[in-house]
């Protein structure tokens, strides 16, 4: 049976990808954030995952404002990255796990989640930057199942809906018969806003509330509407929805292994958090 052993949640700021490409990891601006991944990499090396379920939001490579699914699941044999205009080099193709993808798709549809199935799918910085942060020495040996959440075009899914969606994915993984070790990677946020009168907005108090709640009180975040999340965390801070989906996948209880929070990284509250499933 599949073993879902834990999850990593991390920011996916494009500027991180540029810094990695330019070899700036040791500079004072980047070091406090990037040093937080030393322990994460050691944990992953010990756990040796076969598959990573990557929960993220697309930034226009697959979906745009005219066609924006609430939830989409990749079911491709491999995933290519593309030039998004941020100056981030593309990475080598990342292999997919089609069998697990279809198990998840079938499982969540049976639980009445209407997902878009993508047998071809490009991956952007929301996937490639976390993969580079977690496996900096080259392409990871893991296969991936990308799961895309709409955090861009309103109406957005509610935190309650995202938690239920994650739990449905978790049940599908638990029923998967293959002997594979699975890690969840949730990407985005934390609080930030890139435009308008509140450009540069960061809310450390709400970020702390989210990081604490994610561990063993994720339902605490379901009291907020998407509009309330925007007010509290910024228009792009709603990427916390990805973290909520990822936390739902892990099941009812989890143990925090590591946390690092740093501000700012390119006007964003950047964080990484590692949880082990009970």
In terms of phi and psi (left: phi > 0; alpha: psi -120 to 50; beta: otherwise), the region of 277 is: beta
The one catalytic residue among 59, 125, 154, 262: 125
Q: What Rg do the C-alpha atoms of the chain give, in angstroms?
A: 17
CB atoms inside a 10 Å sphere around CB 162: 29
Q: Is 192 a catalytic residue?
A: yes
3-state secondary structure of 155: coil
Asked if 257 and 43 touch (Cβ cutoff 8 Å), the reply is yes
Integer Cα distance of 246 and 25 in angstroms = 27
Integer Cα distance of 9 and 243 in angstroms = 6
In terms of phi and psi (left: phi > 0; alpha: psi -120 to 50; beta: otherwise), the region of 50 is: alpha
Which of 128, 159, 126, 143 is closest to 232 using CA atoms?
159
Residue that has been written with the tokens 């934390």 in this structure: 190
Sorted by sequence, the CB contacts under 8 Å of residue 3 that are 6+ apart come out as 180, 181, 182
The one catalytic residue among 12, 59, 192, 262: 192
What six digits make up the tokens of 8?
A: 């990593």
CB atoms inside a 10 Å sphere around CB 137: 7
Asked if 62 and 72 touch (Cβ cutoff 8 Å), the reply is yes
Which of 234, 238, 152 is closest to 201 using CA atoms?
234
Angle between helices 159-174 and 240-250 (to 10 degrees): 40
Q: Is 59 a catalytic residue?
A: no
What residues act catalytically? Answer: 125, 192
């Amino acid at each position: 049976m599949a073993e879902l052993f834990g999850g990593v949640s991390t920011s996916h700021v494009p500027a991180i990808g540029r810094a990695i490409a330019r070899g700036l990891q040791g500079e004072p601006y980047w070091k406090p954030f990037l040093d937080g991944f030393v322990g994460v990499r050691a944990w992953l090396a010990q756990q040796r995952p076969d598959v990573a379920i990557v929960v993220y939001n697309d930034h226009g490579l697959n979906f745009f404002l005219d066609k924006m699914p609430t939830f989409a699941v990749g079911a491709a044999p491999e995933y290519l990255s593309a030039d998004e205009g941020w100056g981030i080099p593309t990475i080598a193709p990342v292999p997919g796990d089609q069998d697990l993808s279809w198990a998840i798709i079938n499982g969540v549809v049976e639980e009445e989640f209407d997902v878009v199935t993508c047998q071809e799918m490009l991956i952007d910085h929301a996937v490639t930057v976390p993969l580079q942060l977690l496996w900096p020495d080259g392409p990871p040996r893991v296969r991936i199942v990308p799961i895309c959440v709409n955090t861009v075009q309103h109406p957005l899914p509610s935190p309650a809906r995202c938690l239920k969606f994650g739990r449905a994915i978790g049940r599908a993984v638990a029923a998967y018969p293959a002997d594979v070790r699975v890690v969840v990677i949730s990407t985005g946020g934390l609080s930030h806003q890139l435009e308008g009168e509140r450009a540069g907005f960061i809310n450390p108090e709400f970020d702390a509330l989210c990081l604490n709640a994610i561990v063993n009180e994720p339902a605490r975040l379901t009291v907020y509407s998407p509009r309330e999340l925007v007010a509290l965390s910024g228009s792009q801070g709603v990427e916390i929805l990805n973290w909520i989906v990822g936390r739902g996948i892990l099941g009812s209880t989890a143990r925090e292994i590591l946390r690092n929070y740093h501000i700012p990284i390119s006007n964003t509250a950047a964080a990484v958090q590692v949880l082990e499933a009970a």
